[in-house]
Amino acid sequence: MYKIDDHVAVAVAGITADANILINYARLAAQRYRYAYQEPIPIEQLLHRICDLKQSYTQFGGLRPFGVSFLVVGWDEYFGFQLFRSEPSGNYGGWKAAAIGNNSPNADSVLKSDYKIGDTDMKKAKSLAVKVLAKMLDTASPSPDKLEFSSITLKDGKPEYKVYTKKDIEGLLKDAGVEKKESSGDI
Amino acid sequence: RILHCLLTSSAASFQMSILQYNGSAIVAMVGKDCVAIASDMRYGIQQQTIACDMKKVFQMGDKLFIGLSGLLTDVQTLKQKFDFKLKMYSLRENRPMRPKVFSSLVSSTLYEKRFGPYFVEPVVAGLDAKEGPFIAAMDLIGAPVFAKDFVVSGTTSDELYGVCEAFWKPNMGPDELFETISQSLLAAVDRDCLAGWGAIVHVM
């Protein structure tokens, strides 16, 4: 997971080396926008620029596409909190809840049934995210070492990107009811 | 300057160096485990004063400030450019930029325009986590001076050299440093018609 600017962050699935290029590009794009307009870049604008780049590798140059999917989260003053998903084709969509990477189709269907539109606050969202992620990992005992967790919230009216510590994640796992279970002796 | 103005025509506008078009006074001083940077707040166009709340010192990091004297449009543009570069650095390196490093960034940014320079003369002041107080000043093409006591910049630089040399002493605490830098600035700008009309001091 990477911070792009104070108000935008991304999670990556796919070829890390390809992702690094795109993340650097995204950071530059965000700063160029800030420099030109003295305003933080609206989330969809940023994503659009990244996706235009991804798309161009599917149509021009004879190069292979970027093997990267992104989940982009952020806040801007025009549309509030937003979540987008993009893929190697350059296609992107806005979502209430989404997953990428291993077992993401499964995760998507769980999210579809369990995420209640209009009735999911931050607490429920974090809980659901952690639960779904644990399922995607295929482990019976998700430990904080295996997870990265971050969020964007508004602090004093300004967006803040927070990376959760191991302790924070332990708390999350506990609240969600998916903490690591001590081996009880069977097999 | 005032005499010259009276002697020329009453539609008072006469040719000045581009670095004197707006007018400013910037000073930074080192104390004991502390550092201060101060500037005037006049926004003027030649002899006319337009505003008295113009920022010329900008906070670039938690304990890092840059003061820019000279042509105000370049002051503002450079501030925005440094915001860009600083942000990219802290995102890539995942740590804040240290004052000495920032000073080098300012220097190289200015030298890139060696044959068409930005008309600014910056002052960098910061508190390095490991190495303590840091101040530096540069000319418009990036030549730095790293002083142990104080640095000055702007149309009031000659006057500032005088008062700072007289008032500065080593190992001042934050309160004494604040007094010293303030009184130096106030005394100096009263001898410069292009600077003054308010002042701001930042103490780290």
pLDDT-derived band of residue A141, with 50, 70 and 90 as boundaries? confident
Beta bridge partners of B151: B28
Q: What percent of chain A is predicted at pLDDT more than 70?
A: 95
pLDDT, tens digit (0-9, with 9 covering 90-100), for B33-76: 999 999 999 999 999 999 999 999 999 999 999 999 999 999 99
Backbone angles phi, psi at A105, to 5 degrees: -60, -40
CA distance B171 to A116: 62
Q: Tell me the residue length of chain B.
A: 204
Per CB-CB distance under 8 Å, the chain A contacts of B87 are 5, 27, 31, 34
Which of A4, A24, A31 lies at the smallest CB-CB distance from B84?
A31
Query: How high is the pLDDT of residue A181?
Result: 60
pTM for this entry? 0.87
Scored b (16 or more CB within 10 A) or e, A99-126 reads bbeeebeebbebbeeebeeeebeeeeeb
**How many beta-carbon pairs under 8 angstroms link A with B?**
22
- A31 vs B80: CB contact, 8 Å cut-off? no
pLDDT, tens digit (0-9, with 9 covering 90-100), for A59-110: 999 999 999 999 999 999 999 999 999 999 999 999 999 999 999 999 999 9
Higher pLDDT, A185 or A164: A164
pLDDT-derived band of residue A138, with 50, 70 and 90 as boundaries? confident
Beta bridge partners of B30: B35
CA distance B174 to B31: 7
Residue A185 backbone class (left: φ over 0; alpha: ψ -120 to 50; beta: rest): left
**Probe site for chain B from A10, A31, A34, A150 (most B CB atoms < 10 A):** A31
- B84 vs A32: CB contact, 8 Å cut-off? yes
* Sequential DSSP letters for B86-104: HHHHHHHHSSPPPHHHHHH
Structure tokens at B91: 């995102």
Query: How high is the pLDDT of residue B11?
Result: 47
CA distance B109 to B103: 10
Which of A24, A31, A38 lies at the smallest CB-CB distance from B87?
A31
Structure tokens at B21: 């078009």
For the ranges A18-22, A37-41, A128-132, A183-187, the lowest mean pLDDT is seen at A183-187
CA distance B70 to B102: 20
B76: distance to nearest CA of chain A, Å?
A: 11
Q: Which residues contact B15 (CB under 8 A, 6 or more apart)?
A: none
Report the chain B residue with the minimal C-alpha distance to residue A40: B84
B78: distance to nearest CA of chain A, Å?
A: 10
Residue with the two structure tokens 């005992």: A141
Q: How far is CA B123 from the centre of its chain?
A: 4
pLDDT of A178 over the 80 cut? no
CA distance B47 to B5: 9
B82: distance to nearest CA of chain A, Å?
A: 10
**Probe site for chain B from A35, A37, A163 (most B CB atoms < 10 A):** A35
Which residues of A lie inside 8 Å of B (Cβ-Cβ)? 3-5, 24, 27-28, 31-32, 34-35, 38
Query: How high is the pLDDT of residue A82?
Result: 97
* Measured CA distances, B15 to B12, B22, B42, B49, B157 (Å): 10, 13, 20, 17, 20
What stretches in chain B show pLDDT beneath 50? 5, 8-11
- A35 vs B92: CB contact, 8 Å cut-off? no
Query: How high is the pLDDT of residue B10?
Result: 46
Among B13, B65, B26, B30, CA closest to B176 = B30
Query: How high is the pLDDT of residue A146?
Result: 87
Which of A27, A35, A38 lies at the smallest CB-CB distance from B91?
A27
Residue with the two structure tokens 């806005």: A94
Overall average pLDDT of the A149-170 stretch: 96
Could you tell me whether strands B199-203 and B150-154 are parallel, antiparallel, or unpaired per DSSP bridges?
A: unpaired
CA distance A139 to B169: 66
